[in-house]
Amino acid sequence: MEATKIWHANDIDCIVSLGTGPEGMHTLNDDTLDILGPWGMWLCQKFLTRFIYFRLQLAFYSLHAMTGTEHTHEEIRNIVNAYRGIHPGEAIN
């Protein structure tokens, strides 16, 4: 939709999705480890209350969920396929 605002739909020959592959499942601990690293995670567990540490983990988990690109890629692929007249499940990419 953004590309058609800049260029007319007839002028678009190719759309490139710069994805990094399927997004795996993520957990509170995985997202906290990704952001803080093992040393930061250990410090937070040691000096924060369980409640505050959980809230911090929840914030990191939410950040990951909001900035993940897999859902956006799927949505764009479905829109492009619909524009091309391809039904869901018919095209791979």
pLDDT given for residue 32 in this prediction = 92
pLDDT given for residue 14 in this prediction = 73
Helix residue ranges, H only, 1-93:
2-6, 28-47, 50-67, 70-84
Element (H, E) at 14: none
The domain spans of the chain are 49-93
Whether pTM exceeds 0.75: no
Sign of the alpha-carbon dihedral angle for 27, 31, 33, 36 = negative
Distance of CA 5 to the CA centre of its chain: 24
The two three-digit tokens of residue 40, written as one number: 């930061």
pLDDT, tens only, 38-77 = 999 999 999 999 999 999 999 998 888 777 777 666 777 7
pLDDT given for residue 33 in this prediction = 93
The residue ranking higher by pLDDT, 93 or 21, is 21
